[in-house]
Structure 1
Amino acid sequence: MEPVAANLRLRLLESITDVSATEWNALAGPEAPPFIRHEWLAAMEESGSATLESGWEPQHLTLWRDGKLVAASPAYRKHHSMGEYIYDFSWAGAAERLGVEYYPKLVVGAPLSPATSARFLIAPGEDVPALRLTLLRAAVESAKESGCSSVHFLYPREDEADMLGAEGLARRITLQFHWKNPGYRTYDDYLSRFDAKRRSQIKRERAAATTQGITVRTVRGGEVGEEHARRAFGFYEATCASRGPWGQVQLTEDFFVRIFRAMPDTVELVQAERAGKVIAGAFNLATPERLYGRYWGCHEEHPFLHFHVCLYHSVEDNIRAGRRVFEPGAGGEHKIARGFEPTAVHSAHLLFNQTLDKAVRDFLHREHAHLQPAVEQAEQVAGLKPWPLPGRASGT
């Protein structure tokens, strides 16, 4: 394509493997969340989980100068709205009523990964504001040229969302529920933040596993292998099957095999075992600062097993490891009563049909007006005492 700015050339990649892992990850940086790394995107695409056939058509935006990659955004032409978790199904319905083709649309973000991470990857030493703006303009222009109805930046960082809003995109804020570590030393510190009734409930739910003959442990590091990858897929598949029409299997077994092989130091599998058999589990990804909960499943139903495997066990694990945040995934108001706090996640949207764009902006204005009361109500339900507790000095 023609240069988009002085000495810059835009290339749209039809596969993340059209650029090397070394080049891409150098932009992402060593502290990048797993979902923006080359290994994750490659596993998604090469496994058939995020391809044109599955409705995720890669169209990554990359900027080059003298043969060197200096900026990039992961992007996909989407042919449906599944697997995004920033729900726009009603927008698609409104488009249909207006006679507007809503699909394809251009989504800037990582497939099937509802977690915040950078959407503008910029090489160190480059002009960040200028290259962000260049990538944004490239996204809009390429979307129009390829027949997309709109551009959607999903789960950008807050500073990126601010920039997108300043450039005229419609901002959206939705809620997830994250566990945050204000300085816990022990699991009892975590429990002490609840009133007596809630604390008793949590203890009872976690203790149920013992009476059920169930033990829970995390498999990680050198212990993980292909058998754990296939087991994680089995749990994911079981959960999808339990959800009826909304439980569409979007990830392939090969994705799990590839990601366990490519990122062994990041993947973890929480396993629940009974009578020598693994009956349930949760597939997570870990960094020194954060734990990301991804997929849970079970082959036997037991009361409170989900809470123990997906929440309580990993909360204690995070306290032991000193992690600051545990993001257990999209949705789940049940997490509030277990100490997971409402947390804003961001998106930004531009629809090319002016009538539809105005309707969406009006909708977002009304949605935002209801957000703060919802947060306040959620915080009341959580009932967490402030930290530090009486008698404990701040920062200790």
Structure 2
Amino acid sequence: MASSEITLEAVPSAAHIPADDWDACANPHKPGREGNGLDRAASRDVLVSSCAETKSHYNPFVSHAFFSAVEVSGSATVRTGWAPRHLLAKVGGRIAGIAPCYLKSHSQGEYVFDRGWADAYERAGGRYYPKLQVSVPFTPATGPRLLIRDGENREQIASALANGLMALTGVSKASSAHVTFAPEEDWKFLAEHGFLQRTDQQFHWRNQGFMTFDDFLSTLNSRHRKAIKRERRDAMANGITIHWLTGSDITEEAWDAFFEFYMETGSRKWGRPYLTRTFYSLIGESMAEDVLLVMARRNHRWIAGAINFIGSDTLFGRHWGAIEHHPFLHFEVCYYQAIEHAIKHRLKVVEAGAQGEHKLARGYVPQTTYSAHFIADPGLRRAIADYLKRERAYVAEAGRELAEAVPFRKADEAS
């Protein structure tokens, strides 16, 4: 394939891209839903086995359904400062690659923080906004950002998209382009094309083939094992029960309750929650099988809940909310129930979202996350490059210290 055969185009919404073309680039190995004689867990196991060779895993956040929901619902739009500019790479008129991209007028809802860069640049007389953001809106979960159809020359399509993002920065009069929560291989690839490298830290739980939650607890040291048992017991006091809702179990009444939790907690945490009520109805229509709501009930009403998205081998925890506050209920609904679900359905990883060193004591271990940044202004680029060199060293050292603080039993205790 000659590079001249690749054409680039930016479109103003996911609706301008056929869902089949988008998903062929983003999730070519989406798990089957029915008609194959397998239940959901079994079909997911088959998928994980087949993907071990292709290194391609189903990620619900990069599906056309998710992007369509955040845009159609009014959550990620021009009005909210997320103007879609999805970059397409076409070969012979067919979409061969996509970089999901937004022209942004602020730095909210990204979880990779560059407000300091913006403030410094604007104090020096520059204009940081608009900027381009290659990401899943409001979602700090690692996943592919250069979506490439199977059968295409991946390196050539990825190069075209990387170069296209730099060109789109200039055409859009943007200061920069930011590819956040990218896989490490994309991070390295983009660095070869002039993007600056940034790292950060999250906490993920990893399944070691556990059959029960007690199997997991048995790997922890005595102090943390007892603390988790106490937290789980106290969280369920006062007549609280926990319920898993997925697929057709998620009714509009359940969405109403969850949205109330989201607004109550999000308003206190972020000032203005990002997602609209319509967003939840839309994902309930198009991706309910990919959603797990963990809901807490007391006195015949829902009082708290957490939303998770289900990938081929990963449970992605997103946000939670509550209208009643009980000790340790947050940990139970968000962390321990996610572990229970992952064990039951043989998922390999639970990603519990951004930040939170308190997750370490609950069996979640440090995991480096990656982002890549193209800065158009040479002076700003030099300053940020110097900053990121020091920041990467700090993140690496912090990761080493956190890894030494994991609550797992030492060899002498295990023996």
TM-score by length of 1: 0.94
Report the equivalent of 2:242: 216
Query: Match of 1:13, as an amino acid?
Result: V
Matches within 5 A, 1:83-232: 83-232=109-258
Question: Alpha-carbon deviation of 1:347?
Answer: 0.2
**Contact map agreement 1:230 1:257 (CA 8 A) in 2:** no
Report the equivalent of 1:18: 16
CA–CA distance in 2 between the matches of 1:166 and 1:7?
22
Report % sequence identity: 38
Matches within 5 A, 1:1-396: 5-28=3-26, 29=28, 30=30, 31-243=57-269, 246-385=270-409
Query: Match of 1:16, as an amino acid?
Result: A
Relative distance call for 1:351 and 1:239 in structure 2 (3 A) is: same
**Contact map agreement 1:150 1:350 (CA 8 A) in 2:** yes
CA–CA distance in 1 between the matches of 2:161 and 2:400?
37
Report the equivalent of 2:38: none
SS of equivalent to 1:313: helix
Question: Alpha-carbon deviation of 1:150?
Answer: 0.5
Question: Alpha-carbon deviation of 1:32?
Answer: 2.9
1:229-274 Cα shifts (integer Å, max 9, x gaps): 222222211111222xx33211111111111111011011101011
1:341-377 Cα shifts (integer Å, max 9, x gaps): 1101100011111111111111111111212221122
TM-score by length of 2: 0.90
Question: Alpha-carbon deviation of 1:157?
Answer: 1.1
Give structure 1 regions of 4+ aligned residues with deviation exceeding 6 angstroms. Answer: none
CA–CA distance in 1 between the matches of 2:410 and 2:295?
33
SS of equivalent to 2:126: coil
Question: Alpha-carbon deviation of 1:76?
Answer: 0.5
Query: Match of 1:249, as an amino acid?
Result: P
**Contact map agreement 1:177 1:341 (CA 8 A) in 2:** yes
SS of equivalent to 1:53: coil
In structure 2, the gaps of 5 or more residues are 31-56
SS of equivalent to 2:296: strand
Report the equivalent of 1:394: none
Query: Match of 1:317, as an amino acid?
Result: H
Figure out how many residues of one structure are paired with residues of the other and give that number. 385
**Contact map agreement 1:209 1:215 (CA 8 A) in 2:** no
Question: Alpha-carbon deviation of 1:94?
Answer: 0.9
CA–CA distance in 2 between the matches of 1:19 and 1:376?
43
**Contact map agreement 1:216 1:270 (CA 8 A) in 2:** yes
SS of equivalent to 1:129: helix
